[in-house]
Amino acid sequence: MTREVTFVEAVREAQAEALADDDRVFIMGQEIGEYGGVFRATQGLAERFGAHRVRDMPIAEQSMLGAGVGAAVMGMRPIVEVMFMDFIACGMDAIVNHAAKMRYMSGDQLRAPMVIRTQGGSGTHHGSQHSQTLESWFLHVPGLAVVMPSVPQDVKGLFKSSVALDHPVLFIEHRALYRTSGMVADLVAPIPLGQGVVRRRGEDVTVAAIGKSVHQALVAARHLEEEGISVEVIDLRSLVPMDVDLVLESVSRTHQLVVAHEAVERGGWAGELISRVVAEGFDELDAPPLRAGSRATPIPFARELETVMICDERLIARRVRECLGLVECSV
């Protein structure tokens, strides 16, 4: 059986199931208890599981994440919520120098199995300090998995896998998706990290994306279909590990590639994927792969300015046309 569930409801249910299935799991975060989270992702969990398992923490990300690492090393499986992804910069030492390295530095004697939940992204006009998508930072951190679901079903499946892993996972949600909905099975199987999925079949161009950008790529694909262009859309679902093989298989049929993400285009993870595809599938490409990313500027508060600088379906569609040589390349 399936039912319609919003994205944020799926996040809440995924955490509730993790708490119910394993007594070692507990949640730490700011305003997650009685208040239920700033986006209601933990609403009702404190009442159901108790304040000792849904713990309100002070506004001190480094301390909170450091406590999470310590709890994980001692055998617990914490879920640490960082309210806005922008604030994760305040806790980088705990994530990068401790959680991710624990297993390596101890000769596999110590591990830090924890899920770091956070959200970010544009579209809700929270301004430059509350709207960033910073996932590309963490591709450079060995020992840390990076996950970004795009639909409610995947939220639950990917979260199950993330909680079960014996190393830290950064679980990123785009808050503009929170009110979107999708069909979710009553029993959701774990989705292995590193297993992407084709969201739309196409023949002319492959577009690889993640999170909200998947939805924008699908919108672009529908518009391009009216122009006679057939676009295949791949949802990577996780960036570390990354399903490069799925992209290579698609490119072997379409011979064109566009990689889309909301993160700033300069230094974004699209460059990593493209370099892998060029190295392993160069002979399959009929044209240079292109990136569709946001401009290198802080995200404005004003809706009109935010719209101009963020990667959206219009930019993705333009990159597809550029890849096919239908318009002059602007990169």
pLDDT in tens, 57-105: 999 999 999 999 999 999 999 999 999 999 999 999 999 999 999 999 9
Q: Residue 300 has what pLDDT? A: 87
Under 8 Å between Cβ of 304 and 236: no
Tally the residues of the chain.
Answer: 331
Under 8 Å between Cβ of 65 and 102: no
Helix, strand, coil shares, percent, the chain, to 5: 40, 20, 40
Taking the C-alpha atoms of residue 241 and residue 121, their distance in angstroms, rounded to an integer, is 22
Give 2-55 pLDDT, tens digit per residue.
999 999 999 999 999 999 999 999 999 999 999 999 999 999 999 999 999 999
Give catalytic residues, as residue numbers: 130
Under 8 Å between Cβ of 234 and 209: yes
Q: Residue 209 has what pLDDT? A: 99
Under 8 Å between Cβ of 256 and 204: yes
User: What would you report as the CA-atom Rg of the chain, rounded to the nearest whole angstrom?
Assistant: 20
Give 290-330 pLDDT, tens digit per residue.
999 999 999 888 888 888 889 999 999 999 999 999 887 77
Which one has a higher pLDDT value, 137 or 300? 137
Q: Is the pLDDT of residue 128 over 90?
A: no
Q: Do domains 2-185 and 197-323 have the same CATH topology?
A: yes
Fold for domain 197-323?
Rossmann fold (3.40.50)
Would you kindly state where each structural domain of the chain is located, as residue ranges? 2-185, 197-323
DSSP H or E run through 232: strand 231-235
Taking the C-alpha atoms of residue 11 and residue 173, their distance in angstroms, rounded to an integer, is 9
Q: Identify the band that residue 131 occupies on the pLDDT scale cut at 50, 70 and 90.
A: confident
Cα 10 to Cα 14, 61, 177, 201, distances in angstroms: 6, 25, 11, 26
Q: Is the pLDDT of residue 144 over 90?
A: yes
DSSP state of 240: E
Give 226-272 pLDDT, tens digit per residue.
999 999 999 999 999 999 999 999 999 999 999 999 999 999 999 99
The dotted CATH code for 2-185 is 3.40.50.970
Cα 301 to Cα 6, 285, 306, distances in angstroms: 26, 39, 7
Could you give the angle at which helices 313-323 and 212-225 cross, rounded to 10 degrees?
A: 60
Give 178-222 pLDDT, tens digit per residue.
999 999 999 999 999 999 999 999 999 999 999 999 999 999 999
Under 8 Å between Cβ of 177 and 150: yes
DSSP state of 110: -
Q: Identify the band that residue 125 occupies on the pLDDT scale cut at 50, 70 and 90.
A: confident
